[in-house]
Structure 1
């Protein structure tokens, strides 16, 4: 970026207004808000450098399709993947939809910009036997028994209840002992009810009895080795160690356990709509992408759900 060029105060205020709107009205998660901020700040910085001047709020309304194409070409030349660029473009379009409503201008030049094509990576679940083996190995591979019990408990929640890793690590001491049904607040502040299997209840109970730190209503349920709240990286490392011991592919991640929950449930005859509710997906198509079943199996489920089809 040329020296002296910066994002104007007006553009920054506009961006902050949009992010505040998302947080207050749409209930977007903190990580989502930060991703949007990063994408749009990068876009605004490009515009300033591209035109050799700081873009204020009023000049943002004059962004052309040529500007959009130049930005996308610059991002691709800088090594940004097509998938990441599509996400960034989505962020910019969201910002412009809000800004055009606020300032009453035509944002069609931005909104008509086409996202680059890319192949979506489908999740790869692990086999049912491998999922159980991962939990067993995670329990025995840690240097301390309580840490092994902790890792096994978290992974059991991912596989046995279909929780996101952030949802499992967001549980507090007030959730222990686990109820028959957990009330989980997921993406966008959406709540859902998740049944707790006996295996998950038992795994968390064993961990809680071994944990050297106090588990109280206002404390995290899962602790790190030094007594702070457990972070996702520790769970990822536990999965990496288990994966190496079992000879599983690199796709066997904590999130793959959630994929496995959905896939195995559907393969066992679970209803696609019910699984959608358990996972907290807004769209049924998202649930389909999380389930590694063939077309014939999906058609079988579809026909059972829609006998007139």
Structure 2
């Protein structure tokens, strides 16, 4: 049984966050037990030894940082609740965060090829999911949680209510025409229940089935191997490369700040996009205008 303090700490979080954080905290509690200490008596040295253990197992910096987030949050909460005399995680050294994401993504031609393929050859649930990942930038978790009642209208646009965005937020997005068609097909005339269901039993699509069906669709489309989250990264990257304002991309992706959006821009190192080119042309044009006015 997990320590009751862990359950108390998790209470305010959304169910999906609770599930993720609980897994990390359970592993941390097990690590403490292996060192004959309690989570409320653990010291900074214990946490840093755990970090070293995770890195020695081959976990990436990002994975280690993800594991540390609920642990450091727990001790900050425990300190506020006066369950510990001092926060042992306060000065724990975190692995450095990469400047940009290293996830794979698809080029525009490959993405168009994948979308054409799934529209014709894949199940309606997987086709809708892939359209949402690629053209709306939705996260896998919030996509699988969609219900038919979340579909709406705004003028001529089809909308979706995302009730399970990060940090328990709710959001509403509009859909492009191909995505709207894929979503309506997935609803398949039903008036209620989950939007994305398995073909065999009509139950809500699970992570395991999504991964399997997604991999099958990507392989049969003949495009480079990609993950659902990779399509979200592609959405951000391609939207910025298409000249869509960063603010609009940030809001569409459900990011809380532009730094998150820039992190997932896989073309941020593209030399053709350096601001020097547009700025130079603007200055030269201004100069020509000034001379013409003399």
Q: What TM-score comes out, normalization by structure 1 length?
A: 0.75
Q: Is the 8 A contact 1:123 1:259 kept in 2?
A: yes
Match of 1:42 among 19, 23, 27: 27
Instruction: Report how far residue 121 of structure 1 moved.
Output: 4.3
Aligned-partner Cα distance in 2 for 1:87–1:301: 38
Aligned to 1:130: 110
- Structure 1: gaps of 5 or more residues: 1-6, 24-28, 304-309
Aligned to 1:16: 7
Instruction: Report how far residue 96 of structure 1 moved.
Output: 0.5
- Structure 2: gaps of 5 or more residues: 280-294
Match of 1:281 among 248, 251, 255: 255
Q: Is the 8 A contact 2:133 2:228 kept in 1?
A: yes
Instruction: Report how far residue 176 of structure 1 moved.
Output: 4.4
Q: Is the 8 A contact 1:124 1:256 kept in 2?
A: yes
Aligned to 1:65: 44
Aligned to 2:63: 84
Match of 1:182 among 139, 156, 160: 160
Aligned to 2:266: 292
Query: CA, structure 1 residues 128+233, in 2 after alignment: closer, same or farther (shift >3 Å)?
Result: farther
Aligned-partner Cα distance in 2 for 1:104–1:151: 47
Instruction: Report how far residue 202 of structure 1 moved.
Output: 1.9
Aligned to 2:242: 268
Deviations 1:32-67 (A, max 9, x none): 22222222232233223313x6x3x7xx2x533333
Aligned to 1:97: 76
Aligned to 1:196: 175
Deviations 1:120-159 (A, max 9, x none): 64233211221121122223434xxxx2x33222211222
Instruction: Report how far residue 162 of structure 1 moved.
Output: 1.8
Deviations 1:189-234 (A, max 9, x none): 22333221111222223344xx4xx6123x1122211111122433
Indicate the SS of the match to 2:205: coil
Aligned-partner Cα distance in 2 for 1:176–1:237: 26
Deviations 1:230-260 (A, max 9, x none): 224333333322332344332x222222222
Aligned-partner Cα distance in 1 for 2:186–2:26: 43
Aligned to 1:150: 125
Aligned to 2:184: 205
Aligned-partner Cα distance in 2 for 1:197–1:130: 19
Indicate the SS of the match to 1:281: coil
Aligned-CA RMSD value? 3.0
